[in-house]
Amino acid sequence: MSHTASVPPAIDPRSRAAALRRELMRNRLLDTVFDLYQPGQANGHLVIDDVIQAAAVSRGSFYKYFDSLEAAVDALGERLTAGMIGDYRRLFDDGDDPLLRAVGGAAMAMLRAWHDPRWAGFTCRVDYVDYFERASTFDLMVRDALDAARSQGQMAFVLIDVAVDLIVGVTIEARRRLMRPSVAGPRAYMDEMIARTFYALDTPPLAVAAVLDRVWLRLAKDGPVLDWWSTNHGVPAS
């Protein structure tokens, strides 16, 4: 009895090209939504016509990919959140001290806002925050780090939702400030915001200071591989 290796069906080059065109168009529309949501734009009443005009596509082309502007905003939120999760996992892993993971997540979000104001502007919007709360793996990762830190006696709180909301709320306000070009002393600002937040969770000041030093060293070492990292910014001086 002969045995023949199964051969996967050949991929039609035309199908591959069509799939690539669809992906490029979808990304073009998402990039346009991102551009229209950048800081300083009057985008409080953004409508589909704004997107198709800026992207130079037809209304029909838009509706091939998204049922509504809200669907496009959610898709953009999904893309940005996936990127944030990937970055977090590149910098911090499950074997790390949970306090390091918790502080590191807050520091990474703040640092990216300083590097990438467009990202900060979009992720501070109510649209994104609502998406983040509905469908974020990152939220679950934050909860896991906080719960583990509490179990190890590194912090104290009763309700995990209070701890999560405190950190998320603080990082949103911090991103709003750090995306401004005129922000002064970004490192001092980030350090104090993070310290005050974790003091509120009963983390000892010396423990916060020690873990912050470790976080900044890791960001300085591994941060330059991240897509949003700007060599002109790096890690701000303390």
User: Which of 111, 104, 114 shows the shortest CA–CA distance to 138?
Assistant: 104
Tell me the C-alpha to C-alpha distance, in Å, between residue 97 and each of 47, 94, 145, 150, 161.
Answer: 45, 8, 9, 12, 21
Split at pLDDT 50, 70, 90, the class of 17 is: confident
Does the structure show a pLDDT above 80 at 35? yes
Q: Mean pLDDT score of the chain, rounded to an integer? A: 87
Tell me the C-alpha to C-alpha distance, in Å, between residue 224 and each of 111, 122, 186, 192.
Answer: 12, 22, 18, 24
Measured between alpha carbons, how far is 42 from 102 in angstroms, rounded to an integer? Answer: 34
pTM of the predicted protein model: 0.83
φ, ψ (nearest 5 deg) of residue 134:
-80, -35
> Could you report the per-residue pLDDT of 224-238, keeping only the tens digit for each?
999 999 888 889 888
pLDDT of the residue at 131:
64
Measured between alpha carbons, how far is 108 from 145 in angstroms, rounded to an integer? Answer: 15
Inter-axis angle of helices 98-115 and 186-199, nearest 10: 150
Does the structure show a pLDDT above 80 at 114? yes
pLDDT of the residue at 182:
79
**Looking at the domain that runs over 14-66, which CATH code has it been given?**
1.10.10
Does the structure show a pLDDT above 60 at 59? yes
pLDDT of the residue at 167:
92
Note the residue count of the chain. 238
